[in-house]
Structure 1
Amino acid sequence: MTGASRLKERYWAADRYQKVANRLYPLSVALCDRAALQARERVLDVATATGNAALAAAERDCTVTAIDTDLHMLGVAQRRAQAKNLQLTLRNYDAQNMPFPAELFDAVISAGGVQFAPDPVACAAELLRVCRPTGRIVVGSWGPASPITTMLEILHSACPLVDSILHCSTAWGTSEGLHRLFGDRANIEAEESRIYIEVPSVGEWTDILCQDFGPAKLALDESNASVAREIRQSLLALFSQFSEGTDHPGQVRIRMDCLQAVVTPVST
Protein backbone atom coordinates (compact mmCIF):
# COMPACT_ATOMS: atom_id res chain seq x y z
CA MET A 1 0.00 0.00 0.00
CA THR A 2 1.35 3.42 -0.96
CA GLY A 3 1.61 6.37 1.40
CA ALA A 4 -1.28 8.07 -0.41
CA SER A 5 -3.41 4.93 -0.07
CA ARG A 6 -2.68 4.69 3.65
CA LEU A 7 -3.60 8.35 4.06
CA LYS A 8 -6.94 7.87 2.28
CA GLU A 9 -7.68 4.76 4.32
CA ARG A 10 -7.05 6.67 7.56
CA TYR A 11 -9.57 9.32 6.56
CA TRP A 12 -12.26 6.72 5.84
CA ALA A 13 -12.72 6.09 9.58
CA ALA A 14 -15.80 3.89 9.89
CA ASP A 15 -17.21 5.33 13.12
CA ARG A 16 -16.85 8.86 11.81
CA TYR A 17 -18.36 7.96 8.43
CA GLN A 18 -21.42 6.54 10.17
CA LYS A 19 -22.51 10.09 11.02
CA VAL A 20 -22.83 10.66 7.27
CA ALA A 21 -24.34 7.23 6.59
CA ASN A 22 -27.09 7.86 9.15
CA ARG A 23 -28.34 10.73 7.01
CA LEU A 24 -28.11 8.71 3.79
CA TYR A 25 -30.19 5.79 5.07
CA PRO A 26 -33.29 6.83 3.03
CA LEU A 27 -31.37 6.01 -0.15
CA SER A 28 -31.01 2.40 0.97
CA VAL A 29 -34.68 2.17 1.96
CA ALA A 30 -35.68 3.45 -1.49
CA LEU A 31 -33.33 0.96 -3.14
CA CYS A 32 -34.85 -1.97 -1.23
CA ASP A 33 -38.32 -0.72 -2.15
CA ARG A 34 -37.26 -0.68 -5.80
CA ALA A 35 -35.93 -4.23 -5.46
CA ALA A 36 -39.32 -5.37 -4.09
CA LEU A 37 -37.58 -7.62 -1.60
CA GLN A 38 -39.65 -10.44 -0.15
CA ALA A 39 -39.30 -12.22 3.19
CA ARG A 40 -36.85 -15.14 3.18
CA GLU A 41 -35.22 -14.12 -0.08
CA ARG A 42 -31.43 -14.46 -0.19
CA VAL A 43 -29.99 -10.99 -0.66
CA LEU A 44 -26.40 -9.87 -1.26
CA ASP A 45 -25.43 -6.27 -0.47
CA VAL A 46 -22.26 -5.39 -2.39
CA ALA A 47 -19.90 -2.75 -0.96
CA THR A 48 -22.09 -2.39 2.12
CA ALA A 49 -19.81 0.08 4.00
CA THR A 50 -21.46 0.38 7.44
CA GLY A 51 -24.47 -1.66 6.39
CA ASN A 52 -27.26 0.72 5.38
CA ALA A 53 -28.69 -1.37 2.54
CA ALA A 54 -28.01 -4.67 4.29
CA LEU A 55 -29.94 -3.53 7.36
CA ALA A 56 -32.80 -2.20 5.25
CA ALA A 57 -33.02 -5.62 3.59
CA ALA A 58 -32.81 -7.48 6.91
CA GLU A 59 -35.69 -5.38 8.24
CA ARG A 60 -37.74 -6.94 5.42
CA ASP A 61 -37.00 -10.41 6.86
CA CYS A 62 -34.57 -11.29 4.08
CA THR A 63 -31.55 -13.56 4.57
CA VAL A 64 -28.78 -11.04 4.03
CA THR A 65 -25.11 -11.39 3.19
CA ALA A 66 -23.08 -8.18 2.91
CA ILE A 67 -19.54 -7.68 1.66
CA ASP A 68 -16.97 -4.91 1.81
CA THR A 69 -13.20 -4.59 1.54
CA ASP A 70 -13.00 -2.46 4.72
CA LEU A 71 -12.98 -4.51 7.92
CA HIS A 72 -13.64 -1.46 10.08
CA MET A 73 -16.79 -0.63 8.10
CA LEU A 74 -17.94 -4.24 8.50
CA GLY A 75 -17.35 -3.97 12.24
CA VAL A 76 -19.68 -0.98 12.45
CA ALA A 77 -22.26 -2.84 10.33
CA GLN A 78 -22.11 -5.77 12.75
CA ARG A 79 -22.62 -3.54 15.79
CA ARG A 80 -25.56 -1.81 14.12
CA ALA A 81 -27.15 -5.16 13.30
CA GLN A 82 -26.73 -6.35 16.89
CA ALA A 83 -28.27 -3.13 18.21
CA LYS A 84 -31.32 -3.71 15.99
CA ASN A 85 -31.43 -7.44 16.76
CA LEU A 86 -30.99 -8.21 13.06
CA GLN A 87 -28.95 -11.01 11.53
CA LEU A 88 -26.33 -10.23 8.87
CA THR A 89 -23.65 -12.46 7.38
CA LEU A 90 -20.69 -10.13 6.80
CA ARG A 91 -17.72 -11.00 4.63
CA ASN A 92 -14.48 -9.16 3.81
CA TYR A 93 -14.73 -9.76 0.06
CA ASP A 94 -13.91 -7.77 -3.07
CA ALA A 95 -16.84 -7.12 -5.44
CA GLN A 96 -14.53 -7.75 -8.38
CA ASN A 97 -13.85 -11.36 -7.34
CA MET A 98 -16.43 -12.82 -4.95
CA PRO A 99 -15.90 -16.39 -3.69
CA PHE A 100 -19.59 -17.28 -3.90
CA PRO A 101 -21.11 -20.08 -5.98
CA ALA A 102 -22.89 -19.00 -9.13
CA GLU A 103 -26.61 -18.18 -9.03
CA LEU A 104 -26.74 -18.04 -5.22
CA PHE A 105 -28.81 -14.90 -4.54
CA ASP A 106 -32.38 -13.89 -5.34
CA ALA A 107 -31.41 -10.23 -5.26
CA VAL A 108 -28.07 -8.45 -5.47
CA ILE A 109 -28.14 -4.83 -4.31
CA SER A 110 -25.70 -1.96 -3.92
CA ALA A 111 -26.48 1.53 -2.65
CA GLY A 112 -23.81 3.86 -4.00
CA GLY A 113 -21.06 1.35 -3.25
CA VAL A 114 -20.19 -0.94 -6.13
CA GLN A 115 -19.66 2.01 -8.46
CA PHE A 116 -16.43 2.86 -6.61
CA ALA A 117 -14.70 -0.45 -7.39
CA PRO A 118 -11.72 0.03 -9.72
CA ASP A 119 -12.86 -2.44 -12.41
CA PRO A 120 -16.54 -1.87 -13.32
CA VAL A 121 -16.52 -4.55 -16.03
CA ALA A 122 -15.35 -7.20 -13.57
CA CYS A 123 -17.94 -6.05 -11.02
CA ALA A 124 -20.79 -6.23 -13.51
CA ALA A 125 -19.76 -9.76 -14.48
CA GLU A 126 -19.62 -10.83 -10.84
CA LEU A 127 -23.02 -9.35 -10.01
CA LEU A 128 -24.53 -11.31 -12.89
CA ARG A 129 -22.69 -14.49 -11.95
CA VAL A 130 -23.98 -14.67 -8.36
CA CYS A 131 -27.54 -13.62 -9.22
CA ARG A 132 -30.09 -16.33 -9.91
CA PRO A 133 -31.46 -16.40 -13.48
CA THR A 134 -34.88 -15.39 -12.12
CA GLY A 135 -33.41 -12.81 -9.74
CA ARG A 136 -32.53 -9.14 -10.09
CA ILE A 137 -29.64 -6.79 -9.52
CA VAL A 138 -30.65 -3.40 -8.15
CA VAL A 139 -28.08 -0.63 -7.91
CA GLY A 140 -28.33 2.99 -6.85
CA SER A 141 -25.50 5.10 -8.24
CA TRP A 142 -24.43 8.72 -8.23
CA GLY A 143 -24.67 10.08 -11.77
CA PRO A 144 -22.44 12.76 -13.33
CA ALA A 145 -24.80 15.59 -12.28
CA SER A 146 -25.56 14.34 -8.77
CA PRO A 147 -24.57 16.52 -5.80
CA ILE A 148 -22.26 13.79 -4.50
CA THR A 149 -20.34 13.60 -7.78
CA THR A 150 -20.15 17.40 -7.95
CA MET A 151 -18.95 17.56 -4.34
CA LEU A 152 -16.15 15.09 -5.03
CA GLU A 153 -15.12 17.05 -8.12
CA ILE A 154 -14.89 20.19 -5.98
CA LEU A 155 -12.73 18.32 -3.49
CA HIS A 156 -10.58 16.74 -6.21
CA SER A 157 -9.93 20.14 -7.79
CA ALA A 158 -8.76 21.51 -4.46
CA CYS A 159 -6.86 18.38 -3.41
CA PRO A 160 -5.79 15.80 -6.04
CA LEU A 161 -5.45 13.21 -3.26
CA VAL A 162 -9.25 13.03 -3.38
CA ASP A 163 -10.29 10.79 -6.25
CA SER A 164 -12.52 12.07 -9.03
CA ILE A 165 -15.54 9.82 -9.63
CA LEU A 166 -16.58 11.14 -13.04
CA HIS A 167 -15.52 7.90 -14.72
CA CYS A 168 -17.50 5.64 -12.40
CA SER A 169 -20.49 8.00 -12.26
CA THR A 170 -20.69 7.72 -16.04
CA ALA A 171 -20.26 3.93 -15.98
CA TRP A 172 -22.83 3.19 -13.25
CA GLY A 173 -24.86 6.39 -12.98
CA THR A 174 -26.13 6.60 -16.57
CA SER A 175 -28.35 4.28 -18.57
CA GLU A 176 -25.83 4.29 -21.41
CA GLY A 177 -23.02 3.31 -19.08
CA LEU A 178 -25.00 0.43 -17.61
CA HIS A 179 -25.84 -0.90 -21.06
CA ARG A 180 -22.15 -0.85 -21.92
CA LEU A 181 -21.28 -2.71 -18.71
CA PHE A 182 -23.91 -5.44 -18.95
CA GLY A 183 -24.34 -5.61 -22.71
CA ASP A 184 -26.76 -8.23 -24.00
CA ARG A 185 -26.42 -10.32 -20.85
CA ALA A 186 -29.19 -8.43 -19.04
CA ASN A 187 -32.27 -6.29 -19.39
CA ILE A 188 -31.96 -2.89 -17.72
CA GLU A 189 -34.64 -0.56 -16.41
CA ALA A 190 -33.06 2.65 -15.13
CA GLU A 191 -34.62 5.86 -13.90
CA GLU A 192 -33.45 9.02 -12.22
CA SER A 193 -34.62 9.12 -8.62
CA ARG A 194 -34.94 12.01 -6.23
CA ILE A 195 -34.29 10.90 -2.69
CA TYR A 196 -34.47 13.44 0.13
CA ILE A 197 -32.60 13.60 3.40
CA GLU A 198 -33.66 15.88 6.25
CA VAL A 199 -31.15 17.96 8.20
CA PRO A 200 -31.46 20.97 10.52
CA SER A 201 -29.81 23.23 7.93
CA VAL A 202 -27.60 23.16 4.86
CA GLY A 203 -24.84 24.58 7.02
CA GLU A 204 -25.08 21.70 9.48
CA TRP A 205 -25.01 19.15 6.64
CA THR A 206 -21.93 20.88 5.26
CA ASP A 207 -20.32 20.73 8.71
CA ILE A 208 -21.06 16.99 8.99
CA LEU A 209 -19.42 16.38 5.62
CA CYS A 210 -16.40 18.51 6.44
CA GLN A 211 -15.85 16.79 9.79
CA ASP A 212 -16.90 13.21 9.09
CA PHE A 213 -16.81 12.46 5.34
CA GLY A 214 -13.33 11.14 4.60
CA PRO A 215 -12.62 12.87 1.26
CA ALA A 216 -13.86 16.24 2.55
CA LYS A 217 -11.83 16.05 5.74
CA LEU A 218 -8.77 14.95 3.77
CA ALA A 219 -9.09 17.90 1.37
CA LEU A 220 -9.56 20.37 4.22
CA ASP A 221 -6.65 19.03 6.26
CA GLU A 222 -4.33 19.10 3.24
CA SER A 223 -5.28 22.69 2.31
CA ASN A 224 -4.24 26.03 3.74
CA ALA A 225 -6.80 28.12 5.61
CA SER A 226 -7.81 30.16 2.57
CA VAL A 227 -8.42 27.13 0.36
CA ALA A 228 -10.23 25.34 3.19
CA ARG A 229 -12.64 28.27 3.49
CA GLU A 230 -13.23 28.19 -0.27
CA ILE A 231 -13.96 24.46 -0.13
CA ARG A 232 -16.51 24.88 2.62
CA GLN A 233 -18.20 27.79 0.86
CA SER A 234 -18.36 25.80 -2.38
CA LEU A 235 -19.99 22.85 -0.61
CA LEU A 236 -22.44 25.15 1.15
CA ALA A 237 -23.41 26.73 -2.18
CA LEU A 238 -23.72 23.33 -3.86
CA PHE A 239 -26.09 21.80 -1.33
CA SER A 240 -28.07 25.03 -1.06
CA GLN A 241 -29.01 24.48 -4.71
CA PHE A 242 -30.50 21.09 -3.80
CA SER A 243 -32.31 22.18 -0.63
CA GLU A 244 -35.90 23.13 0.13
CA GLY A 245 -38.07 23.72 3.15
CA THR A 246 -40.14 21.10 4.99
CA ASP A 247 -43.27 20.99 7.10
CA HIS A 248 -41.08 20.32 10.13
CA PRO A 249 -39.77 23.40 11.94
CA GLY A 250 -36.00 23.60 12.03
CA GLN A 251 -35.51 21.12 9.17
CA VAL A 252 -34.64 21.37 5.48
CA ARG A 253 -34.70 18.70 2.81
CA ILE A 254 -31.71 18.11 0.56
CA ARG A 255 -32.29 16.33 -2.73
CA MET A 256 -29.84 13.54 -3.44
CA ASP A 257 -30.31 12.67 -7.11
CA CYS A 258 -29.23 9.18 -8.10
CA LEU A 259 -29.88 6.59 -10.80
CA GLN A 260 -31.76 3.50 -9.67
CA ALA A 261 -31.47 0.54 -12.00
CA VAL A 262 -33.04 -2.91 -12.02
CA VAL A 263 -30.90 -5.35 -13.98
CA THR A 264 -32.36 -8.77 -14.79
CA PRO A 265 -30.23 -11.56 -16.26
CA VAL A 266 -31.03 -12.79 -19.76
CA SER A 267 -31.10 -16.55 -20.16
CA THR A 268 -28.51 -17.89 -22.57
Structure 2
Amino acid sequence: MNPNKALWEKGDFTRIAESMRESGEALVAKLGITKGLDVLDLGCGDGTTAIPEAKFGANVLGVDIATNLVEAGNLRAKNEGLKNCTFQEGDATDLQELKDQSFDLVVSIFGAMFAPKPFDVAKEMVRVTRSGGRIVMGNWIPGDPTLVAQILKISSAYTPPPPEGFISPMLWGIEENVIERFVNAGIIKENISFVKDTFTFRISGNPSELVNTFKTFYGPTMNAFEAAEKNGKAMELQHELEVLFNSQNKSTTANTTSIPATFLKVTVIR
Protein backbone atom coordinates (compact mmCIF):
# COMPACT_ATOMS: atom_id res chain seq x y z
CA MET A 1 0.00 0.00 0.00
CA ASN A 2 1.09 3.58 -0.69
CA PRO A 3 2.71 4.67 2.63
CA ASN A 4 1.29 8.19 2.34
CA LYS A 5 -2.22 6.78 1.87
CA ALA A 6 -1.68 4.45 4.84
CA LEU A 7 -0.58 7.36 7.03
CA TRP A 8 -3.68 9.49 6.36
CA GLU A 9 -6.09 6.56 6.55
CA LYS A 10 -4.52 5.36 9.79
CA GLY A 11 -6.53 7.51 12.17
CA ASP A 12 -9.54 9.68 11.51
CA PHE A 13 -8.45 13.16 10.48
CA THR A 14 -12.07 14.33 10.57
CA ARG A 15 -11.68 14.44 14.37
CA ILE A 16 -8.75 16.86 14.05
CA ALA A 17 -10.54 18.82 11.31
CA GLU A 18 -13.40 19.61 13.70
CA SER A 19 -11.01 21.93 15.54
CA MET A 20 -10.03 23.63 12.25
CA ARG A 21 -13.42 24.63 10.80
CA GLU A 22 -13.51 28.29 11.86
CA SER A 23 -10.01 29.04 10.59
CA GLY A 24 -10.74 27.15 7.37
CA GLU A 25 -13.76 29.37 6.73
CA ALA A 26 -11.77 32.53 7.58
CA LEU A 27 -8.97 31.56 5.21
CA VAL A 28 -11.39 30.86 2.34
CA ALA A 29 -13.14 34.20 2.93
CA LYS A 30 -9.87 35.93 1.95
CA LEU A 31 -9.40 34.02 -1.33
CA GLY A 32 -11.72 36.21 -3.39
CA ILE A 33 -13.86 33.29 -4.56
CA THR A 34 -16.74 34.21 -6.86
CA LYS A 35 -19.73 32.26 -8.14
CA GLY A 36 -18.86 29.84 -10.93
CA LEU A 37 -15.11 29.73 -10.26
CA ASP A 38 -13.64 26.26 -10.88
CA VAL A 39 -11.65 25.24 -7.79
CA LEU A 40 -9.49 22.21 -7.06
CA ASP A 41 -8.91 21.62 -3.34
CA LEU A 42 -5.94 19.25 -3.15
CA GLY A 43 -5.25 17.16 -0.05
CA CYS A 44 -8.68 18.38 0.99
CA GLY A 45 -9.39 16.02 3.90
CA ASP A 46 -13.12 16.08 4.61
CA GLY A 47 -13.54 19.60 3.23
CA THR A 48 -12.34 22.12 5.82
CA THR A 49 -11.71 24.59 3.00
CA ALA A 50 -13.56 22.85 0.13
CA ILE A 51 -17.00 23.16 1.77
CA PRO A 52 -16.63 26.93 2.44
CA GLU A 53 -15.34 27.42 -1.13
CA ALA A 54 -18.53 25.79 -2.44
CA LYS A 55 -20.66 27.97 -0.16
CA PHE A 56 -19.15 31.00 -1.91
CA GLY A 57 -20.53 29.60 -5.16
CA ALA A 58 -17.44 27.94 -6.65
CA ASN A 59 -17.58 24.60 -8.47
CA VAL A 60 -15.31 22.59 -6.17
CA LEU A 61 -13.53 19.30 -6.66
CA GLY A 62 -11.84 17.99 -3.52
CA VAL A 63 -9.07 15.44 -4.09
CA ASP A 64 -7.49 13.43 -1.28
CA ILE A 65 -5.45 10.23 -1.08
CA ALA A 66 -7.42 8.84 1.90
CA THR A 67 -10.60 6.90 1.02
CA ASN A 68 -12.19 7.55 4.42
CA LEU A 69 -11.72 11.32 4.11
CA VAL A 70 -13.16 11.40 0.57
CA GLU A 71 -16.22 9.52 1.84
CA ALA A 72 -16.55 11.90 4.80
CA GLY A 73 -16.26 14.93 2.48
CA ASN A 74 -18.96 13.67 0.12
CA LEU A 75 -21.23 13.04 3.12
CA ARG A 76 -20.63 16.56 4.44
CA ALA A 77 -21.39 18.09 1.02
CA LYS A 78 -24.58 16.03 0.76
CA ASN A 79 -25.69 17.03 4.27
CA GLU A 80 -25.03 20.69 3.42
CA GLY A 81 -27.02 20.35 0.18
CA LEU A 82 -23.99 21.40 -1.89
CA LYS A 83 -24.34 20.00 -5.39
CA ASN A 84 -21.37 22.12 -6.53
CA CYS A 85 -18.88 20.23 -4.35
CA THR A 86 -17.63 16.69 -4.93
CA PHE A 87 -14.75 14.69 -3.52
CA GLN A 88 -12.70 11.97 -5.18
CA GLU A 89 -9.57 9.96 -4.48
CA GLY A 90 -6.33 11.07 -6.05
CA ASP A 91 -2.61 11.47 -5.53
CA ALA A 92 -1.11 14.99 -5.59
CA THR A 93 2.03 13.62 -7.25
CA ASP A 94 0.06 12.34 -10.26
CA LEU A 95 -3.33 13.90 -11.02
CA GLN A 96 -3.66 11.87 -14.22
CA GLU A 97 -7.47 11.91 -14.12
CA LEU A 98 -7.53 15.73 -14.30
CA LYS A 99 -7.12 17.58 -17.60
CA ASP A 100 -4.61 20.37 -18.26
CA GLN A 101 -5.74 23.87 -17.33
CA SER A 102 -9.04 22.74 -15.75
CA PHE A 103 -9.15 25.08 -12.74
CA ASP A 104 -9.14 28.82 -12.03
CA LEU A 105 -7.87 28.22 -8.51
CA VAL A 106 -5.97 25.34 -6.91
CA VAL A 107 -5.97 25.36 -3.11
CA SER A 108 -3.97 23.09 -0.82
CA ILE A 109 -4.02 23.91 2.88
CA PHE A 110 -1.70 21.55 4.80
CA GLY A 111 -2.45 18.90 2.19
CA ALA A 112 -0.15 18.59 -0.82
CA MET A 113 2.84 19.47 1.39
CA PHE A 114 2.63 15.94 2.84
CA ALA A 115 2.80 14.19 -0.54
CA PRO A 116 6.17 12.73 -1.58
CA LYS A 117 7.96 13.95 -4.75
CA PRO A 118 7.45 17.70 -4.19
CA PHE A 119 8.69 18.62 -7.67
CA ASP A 120 6.01 16.37 -9.19
CA VAL A 121 3.40 17.94 -6.88
CA ALA A 122 4.34 21.46 -8.06
CA LYS A 123 4.26 20.36 -11.73
CA GLU A 124 0.81 18.80 -11.34
CA MET A 125 -0.64 21.84 -9.57
CA VAL A 126 0.69 24.12 -12.32
CA ARG A 127 -0.50 21.76 -15.08
CA VAL A 128 -4.14 21.71 -13.97
CA THR A 129 -4.31 25.49 -13.37
CA ARG A 130 -5.57 27.74 -16.17
CA SER A 131 -3.33 30.47 -17.54
CA GLY A 132 -3.86 33.53 -15.33
CA GLY A 133 -5.23 31.31 -12.54
CA ARG A 134 -3.88 30.97 -9.01
CA ILE A 135 -2.40 28.33 -6.74
CA VAL A 136 -2.69 28.95 -3.00
CA MET A 137 -0.87 26.71 -0.53
CA GLY A 138 -0.81 26.74 3.26
CA ASN A 139 2.35 25.04 4.57
CA TRP A 140 3.68 24.51 8.08
CA ILE A 141 7.07 26.06 8.76
CA PRO A 142 10.00 23.94 10.03
CA GLY A 143 11.35 24.99 13.43
CA ASP A 144 8.45 27.38 13.99
CA PRO A 145 7.69 27.67 17.73
CA THR A 146 3.92 27.31 17.26
CA LEU A 147 1.76 24.21 17.55
CA VAL A 148 1.92 21.98 14.48
CA ALA A 149 5.63 22.42 13.71
CA GLN A 150 6.32 21.53 17.34
CA ILE A 151 3.98 18.50 17.33
CA LEU A 152 5.81 17.14 14.28
CA LYS A 153 9.21 17.97 15.77
CA ILE A 154 8.41 16.26 19.08
CA SER A 155 6.85 13.26 17.33
CA SER A 156 9.86 12.78 15.05
CA ALA A 157 12.15 12.50 18.09
CA TYR A 158 10.29 9.33 19.14
CA THR A 159 9.96 7.65 15.73
CA PRO A 160 12.61 5.72 13.76
CA PRO A 161 14.51 7.74 11.15
CA PRO A 162 12.69 8.02 7.81
CA PRO A 163 13.75 5.85 4.88
CA GLU A 164 16.64 6.93 2.67
CA GLY A 165 15.57 9.50 0.11
CA PHE A 166 12.68 10.78 2.25
CA ILE A 167 12.02 14.50 1.69
CA SER A 168 10.52 16.23 4.71
CA PRO A 169 7.10 17.81 4.04
CA MET A 170 8.23 20.72 6.22
CA LEU A 171 10.56 21.88 3.43
CA TRP A 172 7.42 23.31 1.78
CA GLY A 173 7.54 25.89 4.59
CA ILE A 174 10.85 27.36 3.32
CA GLU A 175 10.46 30.07 0.67
CA GLU A 176 13.58 29.12 -1.32
CA ASN A 177 12.34 25.54 -1.72
CA VAL A 178 8.89 26.66 -2.84
CA ILE A 179 10.44 29.00 -5.42
CA GLU A 180 12.73 26.23 -6.73
CA ARG A 181 9.84 23.77 -7.09
CA PHE A 182 7.49 26.14 -8.91
CA VAL A 183 10.19 27.65 -11.12
CA ASN A 184 11.07 24.07 -12.13
CA ALA A 185 7.38 23.67 -13.05
CA GLY A 186 7.55 26.69 -15.38
CA ILE A 187 6.47 29.57 -13.12
CA ILE A 188 8.53 32.77 -13.11
CA LYS A 189 9.89 33.74 -9.70
CA GLU A 190 8.08 37.10 -9.75
CA ASN A 191 4.73 35.26 -9.80
CA ILE A 192 5.36 33.57 -6.45
CA SER A 193 4.60 35.47 -3.25
CA PHE A 194 4.57 34.66 0.45
CA VAL A 195 2.96 35.86 3.65
CA LYS A 196 2.94 34.37 7.13
CA ASP A 197 -0.56 33.75 8.45
CA THR A 198 -2.22 32.13 11.47
CA PHE A 199 -4.49 29.09 11.70
CA THR A 200 -6.21 28.50 15.04
CA PHE A 201 -7.25 25.14 16.49
CA ARG A 202 -10.38 25.53 18.64
CA ILE A 203 -12.31 23.02 20.73
CA SER A 204 -14.81 23.05 23.58
CA GLY A 205 -12.58 21.22 26.03
CA ASN A 206 -9.22 21.57 27.71
CA PRO A 207 -5.81 21.28 25.99
CA SER A 208 -5.37 17.71 27.28
CA GLU A 209 -8.46 16.67 25.34
CA LEU A 210 -6.95 18.11 22.16
CA VAL A 211 -3.69 16.23 22.89
CA ASN A 212 -5.68 13.00 23.15
CA THR A 213 -7.46 13.74 19.87
CA PHE A 214 -4.07 14.05 18.12
CA LYS A 215 -2.80 10.95 19.94
CA THR A 216 -5.81 8.88 18.87
CA PHE A 217 -6.62 10.18 15.39
CA TYR A 218 -3.61 11.98 13.78
CA GLY A 219 -1.39 9.57 11.81
CA PRO A 220 2.03 11.13 12.61
CA THR A 221 1.26 11.35 16.35
CA MET A 222 -0.21 7.85 16.38
CA ASN A 223 3.02 6.52 14.85
CA ALA A 224 5.07 8.41 17.45
CA PHE A 225 3.08 6.90 20.33
CA GLU A 226 3.38 3.38 18.87
CA ALA A 227 7.17 3.77 18.65
CA ALA A 228 7.35 5.38 22.11
CA GLU A 229 5.34 2.48 23.64
CA LYS A 230 7.92 0.00 22.33
CA ASN A 231 10.72 2.02 23.94
CA GLY A 232 8.88 2.62 27.19
CA LYS A 233 8.71 6.34 26.48
CA ALA A 234 4.98 6.88 25.90
CA MET A 235 4.55 8.78 29.18
CA GLU A 236 7.45 11.04 28.21
CA LEU A 237 5.87 11.83 24.85
CA GLN A 238 2.49 12.45 26.46
CA HIS A 239 4.07 14.86 28.95
CA GLU A 240 5.92 16.80 26.22
CA LEU A 241 2.73 17.25 24.23
CA GLU A 242 0.69 18.21 27.32
CA VAL A 243 3.23 20.93 28.17
CA LEU A 244 3.21 22.17 24.56
CA PHE A 245 -0.59 22.35 24.22
CA ASN A 246 -1.13 23.93 27.64
CA SER A 247 1.59 26.54 27.15
CA GLN A 248 0.18 27.57 23.74
CA ASN A 249 -3.50 27.73 24.70
CA LYS A 250 -4.65 31.34 24.34
CA SER A 251 -8.21 30.80 25.55
CA THR A 252 -9.22 32.76 28.64
CA THR A 253 -12.43 30.78 29.06
CA ALA A 254 -12.52 27.68 31.23
CA ASN A 255 -12.73 24.35 29.42
CA THR A 256 -12.09 25.81 25.96
CA THR A 257 -8.91 25.61 23.93
CA SER A 258 -7.71 28.05 21.28
CA ILE A 259 -4.19 27.47 19.94
CA PRO A 260 -2.86 29.59 17.05
CA ALA A 261 -0.30 28.10 14.66
CA THR A 262 1.81 30.05 12.17
CA PHE A 263 1.98 28.90 8.56
CA LEU A 264 3.43 30.05 5.25
CA LYS A 265 0.77 31.11 2.76
CA VAL A 266 2.04 30.74 -0.80
CA THR A 267 0.35 32.38 -3.80
CA VAL A 268 1.40 31.44 -7.33
CA ILE A 269 0.06 33.14 -10.46
CA ARG A 270 0.04 30.78 -13.45
Q: TM-score, normalised by structure 1?
A: 0.86
- SS for the counterpart of 1:75 is helix
Q: How does 1:1-268 map onto structure 2 within 5 Å?
A: 1=1, 5=3, 9=6, 12-13=9-10, 16-87=12-83, 88-98=85-95, 99-144=97-142, 145=144, 146-160=146-160, 167-170=168-171, 172-183=172-183, 185-186=187-188, 187-199=191-203, 200-224=205-229, 226-246=232-252, 248-265=253-270
Q: Percent identity?
A: 24
Corresponding pairs, count: 258
Distance 2:7 2:122 in 1: 28
Q: Deviations over 1:47-73 (max 9, x none)?
A: 112222211211111100111222222
In 2, are the aligned partners of 1:162 and 1:219 still within 8 Å (CA)? no
In the alignment, structure 2 segments of 5+ residues that lack a partner are none
RMSD (Å), alpha carbons? 2.5
Q: Aligned partners of 1:257 and 1:263: how far apart in 2?
A: 20
CA–CA separation in structure 1 for the residues paired with 2:111 and 2:7: 18
Q: Which amino acid aligns with 1:188?
A: I
The residue type equivalent to 2:200 in the other structure is Y
Determine the C-alpha separation between the residues in 2 that align with 1:17 and 1:194.
20
**Structure 1 residue matching 2:233: 3-state secondary structure:** helix
Aligned counterparts of 1:100 and 1:138: Cα–Cα separation in 2: 18
5+ residue gaps in structure 1?
A: none
Report the Cα distance in structure 1 between the residues aligned to 2:111 and 2:207, rounded to whole angstroms: 24
Indicate if the aligned counterparts of 2:77 and 2:86 stay in contact, CA closer than 8 A: no
Letter in 2 for 1:20: I
Q: Does the Cα contact within 8 Å between 1:35 and 1:136 map onto a contact in 2?
A: no
Q: Per-residue CA shift, 1:153-186, capped at 9, x if unaligned?
A: 22222122789x983212x212222111112614
For normalisation by structure 2, the TM-score amounts to 0.86
CA distance in 2, matches of 1:112, 1:10: 14
Q: Aligned partners of 2:254, 2:155: CA distance in 1, in Å?
A: 32
